[in-house]
A and B are shown apart, each in its own frame.
Chain A
Amino acid sequence: KNQVEQSPQSLIILEGKNCTLQCNYTVSPFSNLRWYKQDTGRGPVSLTIMTFSENTKSNGRYTATLDADTKQSSLHITASQLSDSASYICVVSDGGYQKVTFGIGTKLQVIP
């Protein structure tokens, strides 16, 4: 069964600090991996998308890495801001959108 596991489940950091969120998956075959940001009470918004051949992708202060051999991805947030407080969801596809597996997400809280 395809699975996506994220860690930590929740995280509290001080404003201005960096943090790294982890995603491990067992989805096979692998097509692509996405990170989404979901603010409380809103729908998820895409941050990055990576295919098998990509091992890093940035979107402003967000940098995602992918190791397809170990089936691991991380999302690094630099110089965190209060607006980064949200859930971050890792999503892995095996080739079709009806075959997408979502992680439960990491709930990040940035405090002043």
Chain B
Amino acid sequence: IAGITQAPTSQILAAGRRMTLRCTQDMRHNAMYWYRQDLGLGLRLIHYSNTAGTTGKGEVPDGYSVSRANTDDFPLTLASAVPSQTSVYFCASSYTAGDYEQYFGPGTRLTVT
């Protein structure tokens, strides 16, 4: 069982370019999340999905979009990357959107130049 995987592991991206970060889980979890982690700040929620077909905005959604076409996949897209989006991005999932444990992926380190 792989759990939750993310791709790519790291990426250097020119400002203005479009980028999709991939996230896949094989635990059949209903809820999935995207966070960013910056030095000196706690993890911040970008977008979430309580179940396939639904998505919602988190604390810092601007400049990002997500989709949830099926249970397993939850890609995060940066339509036009800016340097302030340089960060480490973590995808997570939980059995339901209620108070259950979250499982995190290994992260994607993104640098926007």
Contacts and interface: CB of A to CB of B under 8 A. Distances in A.
A53 to B, nearest CB: 13
B81 interface: no
B107 A43 contact: yes
Contact of A49 (B4, B31, B101, B107): B101
B74 interface: no
A25 to B, nearest CB: 12
Interface residues of A, number: 24
A10 to B, nearest CB: 12
Given A43-B90, A44-B104, A98 B56 contact: yes
A98 B101 contact: no
Q: How large is the interface on B (under 10, 10 to 19, 20 to 34, 35 or more residues)?
A: 20 to 34
Contacts, number: 55
Contacts of A96: 97-99
Nearest to A104: B42
A56 interface: no
Interface string B41-70: 111110010000000101000000000000
A13 B98 CA distance: 37
Interface in A10-64: 31-32, 34, 41-46, 49, 51
Q: Which 9 A-B pairs have the closest CB atoms?
A: A43-B104, A102-B42, A102-B43, A46-B101, A44-B104, A104-B42, A98-B48, A43-B90, A32-B99
Given A44-B104, A89-B43, 15 more contacts: A31-B99, A34-B101, A43-B104, A43-B107, A44-B90, A46-B101, A46-B102, A97-B97, A97-B99, A98-B45, A100-B45, A101-B42, A102-B44, A104-B40, A104-B41
Interface of A: 4, 31-32, 34, 41-46, 49, 51, 89, 93, 95-98, 100-105
